[in-house]
A and B are shown apart, each in its own frame.
Chain A
Amino acid sequence: MQRDEVLAKLRERIVRFAASHGSGDAAEDLAQEVLLLLHEKYAHLERVEDLLPLSFEIVRFKMMSWRRKSARRGEYTQVSVTDIPLPDLEPNPADQLERREMLERLTRAVAQLGDRCRQLMRLKLQGKSFAEIQQAMGAGSLNTVYTWDFRCRKNLLELMGGDWEAKP
Chain B
Amino acid sequence: MSREDIARLLGGYATGTLTPEEQQALFAAALEDQELFDELAREQALRDVLREPAARAQLLAALEDRLPWYRRFGSWRVSDGMPSPATLAALAACLLVVGALAIWRPWHQNELPQPSAVATELPAEAPATPAAPAAVEQKGAAIPSTTPAKARTLLPPPLLPRAIELQAAPPMKKELLAADAASSAEPRQADLPAAAAPPPVNPATPQKPQIANQTAAADTILAGRDSGERMKIVPGPGAAGALQSAGAAAGTTAAISAFSTNGTQPSGAIAIPPGGARQLFYAGSAVAAQKEATESKRFNAAVRALGSQAALGIKWSILRLVPGGEYAIVNAEDLRAGDTVKLRFASNQSCDLSVFDNASALVPLFTGHVQAGESLDSPPLSPWRKGLRQLAVLLARGGVTAGTLTRMPQAQSQAQQSETDRGEQATYTVGPADTPQVSLLITLNYQ
Shortest Cβ distance from residue A65 to the other chain B in the assembled complex, whole angstroms: 14
Q: Please determine whether A125 and B31 come into contact, CB atoms closer than 8 angstroms.
A: no
- A57 contacts partner chain B, Cβ-Cβ < 8 Å: yes
Q: Please determine whether B17 and A107 come into contact, CB atoms closer than 8 angstroms.
A: no
Q: Please determine whether A114 and B44 come into contact, CB atoms closer than 8 angstroms.
A: no
Q: Please determine whether A111 and B67 come into contact, CB atoms closer than 8 angstroms.
A: yes
- A146 contacts partner chain B, Cβ-Cβ < 8 Å: yes
* Interface 0/1 of A133-145, CB less than 8 Å to B: 1000000000100
Q: Please determine whether A149 and B34 come into contact, CB atoms closer than 8 angstroms.
A: no
Instruction: Kindly specify which of A38-46, A68-76, A79-87, A150-158 makes contact with the partner chain.
Output: A150-158
Q: Please determine whether A49 and B45 come into contact, CB atoms closer than 8 angstroms.
A: no
Q: Please determine whether B81 and A116 come into contact, CB atoms closer than 8 angstroms.
A: yes
Alpha-carbon distance A13/B33, docked complex (angstroms) = 8
Instruction: Kindly specify which of B19-27, B250-258, B368-376 makes contact with the partner chain.
Output: B19-27
Q: Find residues 54-95 in chain B having any chain A CB closer than 8 Å to their own CB.
A: 55-56, 58-60, 62-65, 67, 71, 74-77, 79-81, 84
- A99 contacts partner chain B, Cβ-Cβ < 8 Å: yes
Alpha-carbon distance A147/B81, docked complex (angstroms) = 9
Q: Please determine whether B80 and A115 come into contact, CB atoms closer than 8 angstroms.
A: yes
Q: Please determine whether A52 and B30 come into contact, CB atoms closer than 8 angstroms.
A: yes
Q: Given A13-B37, A122-B64, A129-B17, A48–B80 Cβ distance below 8 Å?
A: no
* Interface 0/1 of A105-137, CB less than 8 Å to B: 011101111111110011011111111010000
Chain A interface size band reads: 35 or more
Q: Please determine whether B59 and A56 come into contact, CB atoms closer than 8 angstroms.
A: no
Alpha-carbon distance A118/B64, docked complex (angstroms) = 9
- A36 contacts partner chain B, Cβ-Cβ < 8 Å: no
Number of interface residues of B (CB under 8 A): 55
Q: Which residues of B contact A115 (CB under 8 A)?
A: 75-76, 80, 84
Alpha-carbon distance A102/B38, docked complex (angstroms) = 20
Alpha-carbon distance A116/B75, docked complex (angstroms) = 10
Q: Which residues of B contact A59 (CB under 8 A)?
A: 41, 44
- A20 contacts partner chain B, Cβ-Cβ < 8 Å: yes
Counting chain A CB atoms within 10 Å of each CB, the highest count among B20, B23, B49 belongs to B49
Q: Please determine whether A107 and B56 come into contact, CB atoms closer than 8 angstroms.
A: no
For this complex, 8 residue pairs linking A to B, each with C-beta atoms less than 8 Å apart, are: A17-B34, A48-B24, A49-B23, A60-B41, A60-B48, A110-B62, A118-B63, A124-B15
Given contacts A17-B41, A53-B44, 11 further A-B contacts (CB under 8 A): A10-B31, A52-B30, A56-B40, A102-B45, A114-B75, A115-B84, A118-B63, A143-B8, A148-B81, A164-B46, A164-B49
B residues near A, CB below 8 A?
5, 7-12, 15-20, 22-24, 27-28, 30-32, 34, 37-38, 40-50, 52, 55-56, 58-60, 62-65, 67, 71, 74-77, 79-81, 84
